[in-house]
Amino acid sequence: MTEEIITALASVDQLKVISRTSSFFFKGQNIPISEIASQLDVSVVLEGSVRIGGDTLRVSAQLINVEDDSHFWSESWDRKMDNLFEVQDEISVLIAEKLREHVGHMNISDHLVKSPTKNLDAYEHYLKGRFHLNKWNPEDINKAIDQFELALKQDNQLIEAHLGLADGYSFLAVAGFAPREASWLKAMESMNVARELDSEHAGLNYMLANQAFFTEANYSEAMVYALKSVKSRPNYPEAQQYLSFLFGIRGDMEKSKEHLMFAKSIDPLNPETRFYEAYYLYRTREFEQAKSILVGLLNQNDKNLPALFVYLYIAIKTGAYSEAKEKLGQIPDQLMAPDERLGIACLIAQASGDPDETSLQKLQEYGEDPSAHRAHSYLFLNYVERNDYDAAFDILDKVFSSKSSVLLLTFTDPLADMIRQDKRWQDYHQKIYAIQTRVNEPVNKVPSVPDEQVGKEFLERLQSFMEKEKPYLDPTLSLRSLAEQIEVHPNQLSWLINEFVGQNFNEYINRKRVEHFKQLVVDPSNSHISLVGLGFESGFNSKTVFNTAFKKITGLTPKAYQKSQS
């Protein structure tokens, strides 16, 4: 349920929401809210729990203002399990509305959660699959594939499970732990089914970007699909990470950093985000910073293949050849393809000044297979290290026809820096990283709002209603209920209060309540009522909220204000 609520809230354009992975980083840890908020760079924390008893869900949630550690809203629900996604939608919309009341204007749809399936067993298998998929190693990827297949046996319309299969098979193909062609074929079969279900799905276009890159070696098409993914879902961390990667290998480090920072803002503690940050730092030649992140990732998961490879590359690039040999020797055979191990070993030997001609010859034999893309990549790097640029460019020429995505990665790798001095390098760069059309970055949609004249009319209606009916005396008053009373849409009322009054909803209502309290506290007929009681009479629903709001608005405590009026 947590992941769905996070995804739902992230669909609100004006709301920055931390992703599930980073949010769950602190699960089970006794860490103060203020420290969690600092690490995630947020001003409000959503806290809650889900308990299941038989076929019943009990959900509780509360919103905490980090600045003063105050709980400005809490609620609980008892609902039936068979209405799970409807419950998620109900809760998500209410949380979004309470955030809007506290933070400021944002447009909120009437529904934020779409039911991905009616089969809860299928959904449970899908979630288990995602858990294993995010571990980035062959053993867990195969477990993930099993779970996705079980999910699809229960519901073959579950698009997320099809995309999970595509993700799993593509990983095995790229990492070399399954026959490349057969694995990509399975991945494409799953993507094609997903395309029939929803061609605009952000996850689908993210996978199509990967497919274009890794099977077609088509940089331009990969960029188009990745941009399409973030256009439909800007808060999609994986697509933002991938755009950082695509711009980075092309050498556009400013754009790469822009998308990396976006990914970090919504998913800062996700191992994938941290890896892409390390990869960005590797590409910008900030090797020590990159290595520090990679060490942390490998301490967390020593089977993290991408982190292992970049760690080895940094060791080679910085001349730490003994360290590179030792780390390579520690990697089990089941985690690394034979030609990859051989290629790295050859590169270490060549870079350290002790070339192994026998191993290089064996690597060349691997490279005779047109589909041996990893062998081609390491042959290219070895030839560059030997200053044999003609041989390096020959490798490029031979593998263009075989659509080697690995060379898209390798051509601009820091390990190939020396070949940049060759006059042919720029021509090949333009050929490899060609973009056929101008890259158009997605722009945030500007929500439609009433014009100024309509806004003034709404404001007059609001002010008249507030003076006459005093709805703020109702402690359960919400922006939505007030909007219903004055017959405007909640999105319009939110915009109206923030734009024309210059306050968010809670500030606006609490100021009305404070003014009402001021009238009550100086009335002798109320002398028998406590200050908190008068706060409740003014519409506040808790002592804490009353005292906090009063001090914020007047600069005085209620008691000090009472004394000042004596």
Place of tokens 């010859």: 361
Structural domain boundaries of the chain? 1-114, 452-563
CATH topology of domain 452-563: Arc Repressor Mutant, subunit A (1.10.10)
Burial 482-494 (b: 16+ CB within 10 A, else e): bbeebebebbbbb
Span 140-147, mean pLDDT? 94
pTM, two decimal places = 0.76
Predicted pLDDT at 111: 85
Span 367-389, mean pLDDT? 91
Span 85-97, mean pLDDT? 89
Span 522-536, mean pLDDT? 94
Predicted pLDDT at 10: 86
Cα distance between residue 133 and residue 333, in whole Å: 21
Predicted pLDDT at 446: 40
CATH topology of domain 1-114: Rossmann fold (3.40.50)
Predicted pLDDT at 346: 96
Q: How confident is the model at residue 50 (pLDDT cuts 50, 70, 90)?
A: confident
Report whether pLDDT(19) > 80. Answer: yes
Cα distance between residue 360 and residue 395, in whole Å: 14
Span 281-300, mean pLDDT? 96
Span 521-532, mean pLDDT? 93
Between 369 and 288, whose confidence is greater?
Answer: 288
Predicted pLDDT at 451: 62
Q: Which of 243-247, 396-400, 451-455 has the lowest mean pLDDT?
A: 451-455
Between 57 and 557, whose confidence is greater?
Answer: 557
Span 364-388, mean pLDDT? 91
Predicted pLDDT at 450: 53
Query: 377, 311, 305: which is closest to 336 by C-alpha?
Result: 305
pLDDT tens for residues 413-452?
A: 999 999 999 999 999 999 889 876 555 555 444 444 556 6
Span 85-93, mean pLDDT? 88
Report whether pLDDT(192) > 90. Answer: yes
Taking CA atoms, 225 is separated from 193, 200, 253, in Å, by 17, 10, 20
Report long-range pairs for 432-438 (Cβ below 8 Å, ≥24 apart).
Answer: 432/219, 432/396, 432/407, 432/408, 433/219, 433/249, 433/250, 433/251, 433/408, 434/219, 434/220, 435/219, 435/220, 435/223, 436/220, 437/220, 437/224
